[in-house]
Every structure is written in C-alpha cells, then in structure tokens.
Chain A
Amino acid sequence: MLDFLSKLFGKDEETPSKVTAKERLRLVLVHDRASLSPQLLEILKEELIGVISKYMEIDKHELEVNLDSTNDSMALVANIPVRHMKRSSPLETN
C-alpha cells in the first residue's frame, strides 16, 4: 500500500540528481583547472630550481616538470637530473 502511494506521489528512492551533478562537476573541474598555463609552469620551474639548488647541483636544462592527471587524481611529476650533492647544508651556511 505504501509502495503504491510512493509511486503515486512520485517519491524518488534513487540518488538525488544534484548529488550526481556535484560529484561530476568536482571531478571535471579538477581536470579543467589542471591545464597550468605555460607562464605559470615556467615560474614554478624557476622556483623549484632555486629551492633544490640550495641542496644539490642540478642540470637545469634537462629538468622536466609536468602535471599528470588520471581519472580521479592529479600529480605533479618532476624529473630533475642531479649532478653533484652539495657538501654543506644550507642551514650551516646561513
């Protein structure tokens, strides 16, 4: 009887569509935003070089930084060839 009434008044037992919309939106926005502009990526590279150079000597020309995204996650992937380790840590020189 209650089943019949539920159907009659159109009560919905499925996941509300707005919940689905929000989940889909959240995922797609992560992807849409993932396209870092070339300028921003360049700035990021420069700053990375600055920080890492304090600890080790790196090959600046071979350095690669990219944003990788799979279906539901994103990763910043950096390939940084190291030439030498520095003997003194930046803490001591400061």
Chain B
Amino acid sequence: MGKTIVITSGKGGVGKTTTTANIGAGLARQGKKVALIDADIGLRNLDGVMGLENRIVRNLVNVVESDYDFDRALVRDKKLENLFLLPASQVHDKDALSPEQMKEICTRLIEQFQFDYVLVDCPAGIERGFKNAIAGADEAIIVTNPEFSAVRDADRVVGLLTSEGKNDIRLIVNKVRPKMVNKQHMLTTSDITEELQIKLLGEIPDDEEVIISTNRGEAIVFNEHSKAARAYRDIVDRLQGKNVPFMELKVEETFVDKLKKIIGLS
C-alpha cells in the first residue's frame, strides 16, 4: 500500500521543490512507482526543476474538473520510467482546489494507479495552498535552512500539522555551510532539532552542483561527485526505513586554514 508524503516549509526558497524532485527521483531509481504533485497552483515550478516544462498537457485542476480523469495529466520523467509528475495549473489560483479534492487525488493515485509514493510539493505560506497540500498526507517532511526566519516558520508549520492530527513529521536541514558552522556563525542541525523537537531525516550541504543541475532540468541525486546528492541518497534510504548513519559535513581545509592552525589562530 502506497503512502502520501507532503514536503513543506512555511518559508519560501528553502529548497522544497528541489527536495521533492530529488527524493522522487531517488525512490524511482530504486524501483518504486512515484508520483510528484506540484500543489503550487499559479506558480508552478516542479516541472521546470525536472526539465518537463515542455511536456505538460493537462494539470491538477483539469483532473479535478473532469471528475478525476487522469488521462494525459501525468507526465513521465525523461529518464526514469516509473517517475511521474502531476503539474500545477498556471492559470488558476489556490481556491481552484479544495482539501477534499486534493485528498481524493492522492487516494486515487495510490489505489487506482498503484503508486508506492505520492510526494506533494507544498507552496510557501500557511494559507489555502498549504491546507490543500497537506490534506492527503500520511507523513510530512519539513525543509528548513539554518537561519532564524526559516526555523521560525518551520515551527509554525509543525504546530499547524499537529493541530490537523498529522504527527509523523521529519526534518531536512538544507543549505548547510560547514565552514560557517565551524566558525559558530551558523545554527547547527542539532540546534535546530532541539528547538523544533522533531526527528531529523537529513542534512544537506549548500552545494553549487544543485544550481547547475537545476539549470539543466536534471535531478542531482545520481551525481557521484556532489555532497548534496549523497545526502539526498541517504534521505531516500532513510525514508524506506533503512538505518543510515548521519554523515558529518566536513570543511575542506584551505592552505590559509592550515596556516592558521599552525600559528594557533583557529
């Protein structure tokens, strides 16, 4: 029996869409049948991150309006044959959908189309779009960044999820900069889990490779050289119940760092 997971954050720009695309690709690579729903009606972006922007025929709102006819609404990924995108509509707004309709979509994808995972990419904010996106979710993944505003918003979202009875919540801390953490100028992941009091799913280093992949409309998760990719692969394994140790994000020492150590300045 499949399950629905919502990827949410409260704050925008923390990496929800990238995370959705990469977890989806990672699960699909391991043979799971995965559907990604872009719930950001009016501001769709998951299609672009996956490089599928030119293949969209019908969207989420069309499916609901046609009494759940999914024909040509699910776009197959370019590389992974069991990864599908259900795009958002670009012309409607958040009110075009109700939480009940969203729930029905998730249920049908699992029961009628036998998806193992339905991942819902939630829009920023805590209004209608958020309420729609979480409606069908069995579990939630909160994405945050190691900074004040993102953590504060994440805490609000934890509160809203639990008040809706959704208690299976895990955290991804994205865009971690180990060098700043070492200098004590960035909140550590344990600082954040301590404040939010939710379980950690993974920690992803800030990595330029992510931007390069997004430029190309490709998933980064299979990149062998990227640290962010490795972190995403670990997250995919943990999601499936595997016990993967948390890797420590290390700073690559520069010549100046070594020099500082020698003369006792750091």
A interface residues, Cβ below 8 angstroms from B? 5-6, 9, 11-12, 16-19, 21-22, 24-26, 28-29, 32-33, 37
Give the residue name and chain of the A residue nearest to B263 (CB): A5
Contacts A22-B191, A26-B195 given; does A12 touch B183 at CB 8 Å:
yes
B148 with A25: CB separation less than 8 A: yes
How far is it, in angstroms, between the C-alpha of A9 and the C-alpha of B256 when the chains are bound? 9
Min Cβ gap B234→A in Å is 24
Contacts A32-B156, A33-B155, A33-B159 given; does A18 touch B263 at CB 8 Å:
no
Chain B residues, Cβ within 8 Å of A29: 152, 155, 195
Within 8 A of A (CB), among B128-155: 147-148, 151-152, 155
Contacting residue for A32 out of B155, B191, B256, B260, CB 8 A = B155
How far is it, in angstroms, between the C-alpha of A17 and the C-alpha of B147 when the chains are bound? 11
By CB atoms of chain B within 10 A, which of A19, A25, A28, A32 has the most?
Answer: A25
B interface residues, Cβ below 8 angstroms from A? 147-148, 151-152, 155-156, 159, 163, 181, 183-188, 191, 195, 256, 260, 263, 265-266
Q: A-B pairs with the 8 shortest C-beta distances?
A: A16-B184, A17-B185, A9-B265, A18-B184, A18-B187, A21-B148, A29-B155, A22-B191
